[in-house]
Homo-oligomer: A and B are copies of this chain.
Amino acid sequence: MTEAVEKLTKKSEDTSRWYLQLVRMAKLADYGPVRGTFAIRPYGYAIWERIQADLDARFKATGHQNAYFPLLIPESYLKKEAEIVEAFDPELAWVTVGGREELEERLAVRPTSESIICEFYSNWVHSYRDLPLLINQWCNVMRWEKVTRPFLRTAEFLWQEGHTVHATAEGSREEALRMQGVYRDCFYEVLAMPVLTGAKSASERFPGALETFTCEGLMGDGRALQAATSHDLGQNFSRAFDITFLDEEQNRVYAHQTSWGFSTRVIGGLILVHGDDRGLRLPPKLAPTEAVIVPIWRGQNKGEVRREAEALYSELKAANLRMEIDLDEEHSPGWKFNEHELRGVPVRVELGPKDIEKGQAVLVRRDTGEKEFVGRKALSERLRALLSEIQTNMLRQATEFRDQNTRYAWSYDEFKELIESKRGFVVAPWDGTKETEQRIKDDTKATIRLLPFDQQEGNDLVSGKPGQTAVFARAY
């Protein structure tokens, strides 16, 4: 066992400690000087780049364009929408001095950009012909959080925020649902995260939204993570920021809007969903390195093994596989195996003198640990198929875990017992009132994660009143 792997706490023993160690040891992120700020290191950032590329292509395929809006938002703008200011005011960072002068009005570092983007939109939208306006922004945002954890909750994070304008209420509702669908597809197909989708209860909605749609992931420790949300803002912001247009009958009417966001927080989710006691496990579609070649040499055959390994590396790279080769001479193969397992590389390719003799290589899967011997000629084809199998298997594993940890509660005692001892998602009828929602939260720390789109009827476990099913969990 290597020093590195020896030190990694077991996930099952202390997920929180395991998580922080893994982030540092796999060089995903590092703490910054200001509380709650982090650098995303190249290995972590490469994962983000792959998520970005996938989402960006999906946004463009659904007709969206990117743009960039200012970082700093005047205080008066934030105050135009009462719920926004109430929700974000405690978490804002304020610029009060610029160019050695005290500013007349202080400026918030954007916590989200509705209020500044709406100001631009009120100038850009004039006629029904300008709609729908479908814009997305990739940027940094800042929320002065008290308790932080790399990726999951940080003072500054990276995200995309979509902001769209529509002529009708149906238009904005459809868009909010469409983008939830785009997120869901990315979670399933790329992140191998089988999120549950539904709507938020009123108290968990985005401030000012008519309706918030959410993708909720289940982490390895049984806690939920709100992974991406999409909001139908209705006319709340267009009224506050005066976004009106002339409709086809020449009436001036308020526009309907949406916003939707997906952030680097999801990298935290990825670690918590797929990681294990040996470290990270990356779904192949996101892995910066799909496979790493580890040559296994001894003194006398080193030259030959090295040459063969390098030839194989060139060959697989030329076949458009994202490859790495570990030619380090300081460490043993065993040390390297552990290191690349820690980093979550989906496949290890071992090549020793015997393999060369037999014209083969050994493929070792990170997800199951299974080994197979493959002839050199079939290697690139087999490797590509294997990566696809691993992607599918990781989604299956995560889906099984989610399903095994999604339980129905038939009484409030059972509900409390499940949340306390099993965690996971607990499904129960809810009478739709804030009172029972709050009571359950106070009693169990569980919140309503989502209201499924296909709700069933039943009696609320607390009030006994008729209600519809909600999904509860303790959340990150």
Contact = CB atoms under 8 A, between A and B. Distances in A.
A124 to B, nearest CB: 8
Interface string A19-39: 000000000001011100111
Contacts of A49: 66
Contact of A116 (B32, B77, B100, B145): B32
Interface stretch (A87-95, A270-278, A386-394, A419-427): A87-95
A345 to B, nearest CB: 16
A69 interface: yes
A139 B158 CA distance: 10
A155 to B, nearest CB: 8
B116 A74 contact: no
Contacts of A144: 98-99
Contact of A109 (B40, B42, B95, B146): B95
Given A94-B97, A109-B95, A42 B66 contact: yes
Contacts of A120: 30, 32, 39
Interface string A89-125: 1111111111110000011010000001001100110
A42 B67 contact: yes
A70 to B, nearest CB: 4
Nearest to A142: B71
Contacts of A119: 33
B156 A72 contact: yes
A452 to B, nearest CB: 35
A88 to B, nearest CB: 11
Contacts of A123: 30
A94 to B, nearest CB: 4
Contacts of A135: 42
Interface in A136-161: 139-140, 142, 144-146, 155-156, 158
A33 B77 contact: yes
A409 interface: no
Contacts of A44: 67
A135 B39 CA distance: 12
A45 interface: yes
A95 B98 contact: no
A178 interface: no
B100 A97 contact: no
A91 B100 CA distance: 7
A46 B66 contact: yes
A96 B99 contact: no
A65 interface: yes
A109 B109 contact: yes
Contact of A68 (B40, B70, B94, B95): B40
A156 B97 contact: no
Nearest to A288: B65
A41 interface: yes
Interface string A203-239: 0000000000000000000000000000000000000
A91 B95 CA distance: 13
A130 B334 CA distance: 21
Interface string A44-73: 111011000000000000000111111110
A87 to B, nearest CB: 14
A157 to B, nearest CB: 10
A37 B72 contact: yes
B66 A39 contact: no
A232 to B, nearest CB: 23
B34 A72 contact: yes
A67 B34 CA distance: 18
Nearest to A49: B66
Given A42-B135, A99-B91, A144-B99, A37 B70 contact: yes
Given A38-B70, A109-B109, 20 more contacts: A30-B120, A30-B123, A32-B69, A32-B116, A39-B70, A40-B67, A42-B67, A44-B67, A68-B158, A71-B142, A90-B100, A92-B97, A92-B99, A93-B95, A93-B99, A93-B107, A94-B96, A96-B96, A97-B106, A98-B144
12 contacts: A32-B70, A34-B107, A39-B67, A40-B68, A71-B140, A95-B95, A95-B96, A96-B96, A96-B97, A97-B106, A99-B146, A139-B140
Across the A-B interface, give the 5 residue pairs with the lowest CB-CB distance, nearest first.
Answer: A99-B144, A42-B65, A37-B70, A94-B97, A40-B68
